Amino acid sequence: MAIRTILTVPDPVLKQVSKRVDIVTDETRALMDDMLETMYAAPGIGLAAVQVGVPIRVIVMDLAKEDEKPNPQYFVNPEILETDDETQTYEEGCLSVPDYFDEVERPKRAKLRYLNYKGEQVEEWAEGMYAVCIQHEMDHLQGTLFIDHLSRLKRNFAINKVKKAKKKDAA
């Protein structure tokens, strides 16, 4: 396993639409292992493959709290089959937009279909924080960041904040 570099805005790779994975292979699992290690080191609760420069439809998440045993989840080719009309607003952040948080409204529940770590198909409902996180990560697969759900003013502010921090770190 290896920690990979997380791309940040305005890197154009983050705007790419990720490609489907034909089959879950050892190579796919190695990528997911690296992504999980990278996500834990960041630290974060979700990471899409495109965020580490690999534009394929792969996501890892772990919603366990600090005092809980890790509970890694793996999603290959995730898709939302249906959502509730009811929505929830949650303050989101993103490893690709470091140190910026804002509220985003999303469906409260989503029915998912995906392949797990072993390549088995899973269908289930996600709700609460799980629903928020999986929808956020699935946006990445379409080249969408959470700041794309905000006003242009807020989006530009977030991007400029990240650019400014990069310049400061480089100096």
Residues designated catalytic: 137
Query: Which residues on neighbouring strands pair with residue 105, listed in sequence order?
Result: 89
Query: Which tokens belong to 167?
Result: 């310049």
DSSP state of 4: P
Q: What's the CA gap between 166 and 47, in Å, rounded? A: 21
8 A C-beta contact, residue 7 and residue 96: yes
Q: How far is CA 29 from the centre of its chain?
A: 17
Closest by CA to 154, choosing from 106, 101, 107, 105, is 101
Q: How far is CA 1 from the centre of its chain?
A: 19
Q: What's the CA gap between 166 and 171, in Å, rounded? A: 9
